[in-house]
Amino acid sequence: MILKENVSKYQLKLIKKIMLTLCWILTLFVSGVEVREINLPGCSHVEPQIWYRAINGEEFVLQCALPHRDATNIYNNSLLNQHKVKWFWHQKDTETLKAIKESSNLTFQGDALWFKPIGDSASGVYICRIWEKIPCLKIVLDVQTKKAAKCSGHDTNILYLLAGSGNSITCPGTKCYNHVKKPDVKWYKDGHQIKYRKSRPSLKLKQNEIYLNPTYDKDAGTYVCDYTLSDNITNWTVRTAVTVVVIAKTTIHPPNLLYPNGVVILEVEVGKPLQLECRVQFGFETVSPMRVTWKRNNEENVNEKLNQETIVYPKGLKGHTLLHVATLKEVTENDLRSNFTCFAQNSVGNATAVIQLKRKKRVLFLYVLCSAISTLFAFVLCTVFIYQHWIEIVLMYRSYVVHNKSTEDGKEFDAFVSYAKLNSSESGSALISEEKFALELLPDMLENKYGYKLCILERDILPGGAYTDEVVTAIKHSRRVIIILSPAYVSGPSIFELQAAVNCALEDKGIKLVLIKFQDFQKPETLPPVVKKALRILPIVTWKSSISAAPHKKFWKYMCYHMPVKTKRLENFSLKGFFQRLFRLV
């Protein structure tokens, strides 16, 4: 036991010695940082290149940039420049050079130092370096009091300008050194020199002042002005700044409650948290005693405090908007019997609005949502299915349900077939293939398989009459006119049959034209206008020689779709057969 106590006492003494040693080392380290001398190679023999005068208690900006007579900016806020710039300072050449660090009134912005404000103790020599650009730049800064600078009428550097009216901005530095004649003043805003621009005729520079007529909201900001002051030895740049605030006319209206407005009934769930929002618009006031609060039953802080917070949106010339939120941890039965009043007040007056809570009816929300989604999904699937199989559905509908009345129209043929005729002097596989399609393949499918009756001029019309009369008569006795389009057709004499078909269709609404693009073709410029219009607006079924010949291909379904409805006895209708054909499409 005695041994353990001795060991513990020894450990405590050892810990105390270690702590004292660490504190001593830390003290030496800190004191070394403060007093250590900073050596800047190549700077010891460099003479100061810029001399500035500043007024104590005002904003001041110091840029790390070589002097240039035509410079158009006094700072660059780029963060890239800020990382490259290093600043050092001492009051006298004999003093130790110190690295400048940011503080409450001194900030780094881009390649410049901002003093907000600057004090007497800031006088001295400033040295800055920009990596790979400026190895060493010495700047002399002399800060003088307003009394030493002989400033008159120089109370505040905040200027309030009324929007929409004419105003002027005077350089504060021109009110100092009254015994010296002032040369031209250079003005800067947002770091850039202000000059007269044709695009902004309302801004003018006269007698070292800025004239704004009218004044806009964008004219607000910090303006910096420079002029040169010589004391026979040194040319000083006197730099001062003025902060311009653009204001509007003070409102004459009480607050405007955007939400709630009047009495609003809000459905809530008991036991759930709730946020009561009050959105208020305040008119412009330079100093606004605005107030927004929530009250329960028109009284504040009854037995409990509502958890309230305010979000203020950016202020503009039209005033600003506040969002005031009261939070209920959970809605109770007492809350359902309470009136929550939003009370807003400014210097003109006040406004109120009320929210009443109502129990939300319990609805099987999940089931309703699932049903809605399922219904929508089924609707989309049905729409896609109908779009893809519209032709087959119409043909089935005609086959099982629709009773055809076309047999009562007195026409002999279901369709007249028009194609390019082969003359004895012509040859070519394409034309022969077209003729074979019109005389063999088309009748085989439409007549033998689907039961239509076609009119082919050479087969069904006895020769002897005039060609034009025979064509017109055959078309008038047909319900459809099938036109087989090809280069030979549109450039040959058969184009007359298309023109005759169009004219007959205009006279008889029972005649419809079905265009088959058998081969690609170009429309000749010499086509009659009525033919050009028909080729442009009438439906066209495209024949693809490599795949369309098979009976089950879509080409024949499209042909049946455009052909007249065939008569089908309703006694043969089978619901089972209809649905079997329908499900084959899926």
The residues annotated with a catalytic role in the active site are 497
483 touches 540 (CB < 8 A) = no
Give the contacts of 456 (CB within 8 A, at least 6 positions apart). 417, 438, 439, 443
551 touches 560 (CB < 8 A) = no
Neighbours of 84 (CB within 10 A): 17
Provide the token pair at 307: 């958890």
For 313-350, the DSSP string reads PPPBTTBEEEEEEEEESS--HHHHT-EEEEEEE-SS-E
Q: Characterize 166-180 residue by residue with b for buried, 16 or more Cβ atoms within 10 angstroms of its Cβ, and e for exposed.
A: ebebbbbbbbbbeee
SS3 291: strand
236 forms beta bridges with 229
Question: Taken in order 88, 85, 172, 156, is the CA torsion positive or negative?
Answer: negative
Give the ranges where 406-453 is alpha helix by DSSP (H).
429-436, 442-443
Distance of CA 21 to the CA centre of its chain: 62
Provide the token pair at 518: 């058998």
Backbone angles phi, psi at 94, to 5 degrees: -80, -15
Q: Which of 331, 327, 324 is nearest to 358 (CA)?
A: 331
413 touches 511 (CB < 8 A) = no
Q: How far is CA 390 from CA 395, 463, 475, 557, in A?
A: 9, 42, 29, 10
Q: How far apart are the first and last CA of the chain?
A: 93
Cis amide linkage into residue 273, ω under 30° from 0? no
Neighbours of 126 (CB within 10 A): 21
SS3 393: helix
HEC secondary structure over 188-228: EECCEECCCECCECCEEEECCEEEECCCCHHHCEEEEEEEE
DSSP element (H, E) containing 109: strand 106-109
